[in-house]
């Protein structure tokens, strides 16, 4: 097939989630370019990380450092899983604004100042320690207007990058609406190459570039059929569930994963879970956990089931007593707790390889 006359990517009609997709081979524009050109609407498409880095290095060779900057979009619901360390390394010497998206998913009682402090501390230890940080949601105009004002302050070319399903396309769509102008895909020196980037005019002076989302290989979403991704990527405030657990209790995230809690004495411990409301939590005794999984796995969420149970263990000793921790599971959310005695927490995920990222961290809430 020929190339899209909008973004220059080679057209294809086998996968609508990938750049270059066309309904018919004779279409001049790929679906992504067609939607933005005719309907003022951007759609999500994704690319693997290695391919994206290659395109990014090609871009950096073509541009002068002072003429470009990057807007790096991170999902607050999946801070670790939506970051791409190789991308952070590639852009570290350029102006970067980190946009922490979907903050409206957090409980309303959480103060924005606390989130900002947490994120600032998180990135202070990274290669992007000099980056600006913006908190954002696509559903509230004051946040989008602040982002738009930031964009308009400089005349650089601004590249929006991030993992798939972090809300990048929603942000750009909101910027287009907020700017009250009909956007255009304009000609650029990059067109007729295969950079997979779309150049968009917010106004005569403000140009941004959309890029395909980088495939998230560390999310539990990869165990699901795509029609069930609604359980992982969503737009509603997280559910809060508190359990007073006994030793050798287990909490199931529907049929996707389960967490075992073990300690020696009979004291109760409190655990606070933050997850998608569509993912139902269930408590059972640890000795019955695998039987419960076997009985219910086909009735909960349809996905590529596997008999291999991968385990990740977190152990806490007396030196951790009275400390507060949080464990995140990419795609499922997180739970936090205070250590009262030595204990072990085991996360169980039914898959051949442990691709799902888990992280022990200080509590965000």
| Contact assessment for residue 269 and residue 263, using Cβ atoms and an 8 Å cutoff | yes
| Contact assessment for residue 175 and residue 138, using Cβ atoms and an 8 Å cutoff | no
Residue 195's pLDDT is 60
| Contact assessment for residue 45 and residue 210, using Cβ atoms and an 8 Å cutoff | no
Residue 191's pLDDT is 39
Q: Would you say residue 26 lies in a domain?
A: no
Residues 179 and 62 both lie in one domain: yes
| Contact assessment for residue 96 and residue 119, using Cβ atoms and an 8 Å cutoff | no
Q: Residue 276 is encoded by which pair of tokens? A: 């998608």
- Helix-strand-coil percent breakdown of the chain, rounded to 5? 30, 30, 40
Cβ count within 10 A of residue 157: 20
| Contact assessment for residue 71 and residue 159, using Cβ atoms and an 8 Å cutoff | yes
Q: Would you say residue 285 lies in a domain?
A: yes
Which strands sit side by side in the sheet containing 239-245, from one edge to the other?
Answer: 239-245, 269-275, 333-338, 324-329, 358-361
Nearest to 95 by CA among 47, 143, 63, 121: 63
Residues 190 and 227 both lie in one domain: no
Q: Would you say residue 15 lies in a domain?
A: no
Strands 157-162 and 207-210: parallel
Q: Would you say residue 328 lies in a domain?
A: yes
Domain that holds residue 127: 40-214
Residues 339 and 306 both lie in one domain: yes
Q: Measured between alpha carbons, how far is 47 from 216 in angstroms, rounded to an integer?
A: 9
| Contact assessment for residue 299 and residue 334, using Cβ atoms and an 8 Å cutoff | no
Last residue of a domain, one of 214, 244, 275: 214
Which residues contact residue 340 at a Cβ distance below 8 angstroms, ignoring those fewer than 6 apart? 267, 269, 321, 322
Nearest to 329 by CA among 294, 295, 279, 283: 279
| DSSP of 158-216 | EEEEEBTTSSHHHHHHHHHHHTTS--EE---TTTTS----EEEESSSS-EEEE-PEEP-
Q: SS3 for 308?
A: coil
Q: Measured between alpha carbons, how far is 162 from 83 in angstroms, rounded to an integer?
A: 8
Q: Residue 300 is encoded by which pair of tokens? A: 């909960």
Residues 87 and 187 both lie in one domain: yes
Task: Evaluate if pTM is beyond 0.95.
Answer: no
Q: Would you say residue 20 lies in a domain?
A: no
Residue 207's pLDDT is 86
Q: Would you say residue 3 lies in a domain?
A: no
Residues 49 and 182 both lie in one domain: yes
Residue 188's pLDDT is 43
Chain-centre distance for alpha carbon 175: 19
Q: SS3 for 110?
A: coil
Q: Would you say residue 14 lies in a domain?
A: no
| Contact assessment for residue 245 and residue 261, using Cβ atoms and an 8 Å cutoff | yes
Cα pseudo-dihedral 39, 173, 274, 87, rounded to 10 = 120
Residues 200 and 287 both lie in one domain: no
The domain that holds 61 is classified in CATH as: 3.40.50.300
Q: Would you say residue 274 lies in a domain?
A: yes
Residue 193's pLDDT is 46
| Contact assessment for residue 210 and residue 172, using Cβ atoms and an 8 Å cutoff | yes
Would you write out the chain's pLDDT as a tens digit for each of its 365 residues?
788 887 778 899 999 888 889 999 899 888 988 888 788 777 888 888 888 998 888 888 887 778 899 999 999 999 999 999 999 999 999 999 999 999 999 988 889 999 999 999 999 989 999 999 999 998 788 899 999 999 999 889 999 999 988 988 889 888 888 887 655 555 444 333 456 788 888 877 888 998 888 988 889 888 877 777 777 887 788 999 999 999 999 999 987 899 999 999 888 999 999 999 888 899 999 999 988 888 777 665 555 555 688 899 999 999 999 999 999 999 999 999 999 999 999 999 988 765 789 999 999 98
Residues 61 and 130 both lie in one domain: yes
Residues 224 and 210 both lie in one domain: no
Q: Measured between alpha carbons, how far is 272 from 18 in angstroms, rounded to an integer?
A: 38
Number of domains in the chain: 2
**Cβ-based burial of 236 (10 A; exposed 0-12, middle 13-18, buried ≥19):** exposed
């Amino acid at each position: 097939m020929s190339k899209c006359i909008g973004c220059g990517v080679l057209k294809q009609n086998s996968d609508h989630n990938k750049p270059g997709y066309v309904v018919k081979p004779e279409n001049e524009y790929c679906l992504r370019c067609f939607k933005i050109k005719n309907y003022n609407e951007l759609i999500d498409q994704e690319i693997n990380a290695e391919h994206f880095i290659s395109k990014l290095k090609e871009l950096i060779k073509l541009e002068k450092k002072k003429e470009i900057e990057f807007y790096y979009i991170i999902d607050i619901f999946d801070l670790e899983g939506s970051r791409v360390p190789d991308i952070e390394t590639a852009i570290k010497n350029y102006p970067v604004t980190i946009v922490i998206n979907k903050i409206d998913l957090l409980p309303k009682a959480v103060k924005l100042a606390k989130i900002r402090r947490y994120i600032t501390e998180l990135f202070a230890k990274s290669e992007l320690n000099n980056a600006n940080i913006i908190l954002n949601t696509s559903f509230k105009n004051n946040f989008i207007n602040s982002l738009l004002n930031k964009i308009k302050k400089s005349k650089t070319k601004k590249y929006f990058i991030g993992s798939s399903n972090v809300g990048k396309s929603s942000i750009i769509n909101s910027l287009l609406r907020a700017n009250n102008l009909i956007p255009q895909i304009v000609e650029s020196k990059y067109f007729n190459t295969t950079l997979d980037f779309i150049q968009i005019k917010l106004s005569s002076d403000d140009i941004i570039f959309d890029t395909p989302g980088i495939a998230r290989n560390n999310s539990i979403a990869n165990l699901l059929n795509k029609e069930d991704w609604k359980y992982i990527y969503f737009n509603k405030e997280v559910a809060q569930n508190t359990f007073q657990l006994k030793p050798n209790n287990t909490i199931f995230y529907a049929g996707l994963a389960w967490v075992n809690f073990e300690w020696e004495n009979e004291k109760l411990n409190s655990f606070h879970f933050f997850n998608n409301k569509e993912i139902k939590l269930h408590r059972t005794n640890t000795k019955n956990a695998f039987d419960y999984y076997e009985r219910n796995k086909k009735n909960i969420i349809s996905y590529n089931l596997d008999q291999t149970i991968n385990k990740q263990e977190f152990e806490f000793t007396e030196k951790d007593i009275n400390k507060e921790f949080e464990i995140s599971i990419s795609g499922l959310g997180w739970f936090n707790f205070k250590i009262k005695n030595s204990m072990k927490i085991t996360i169980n995920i039914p898959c051949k390889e442990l691709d799902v990222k888990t992280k022990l961290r200080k509590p965000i809430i």
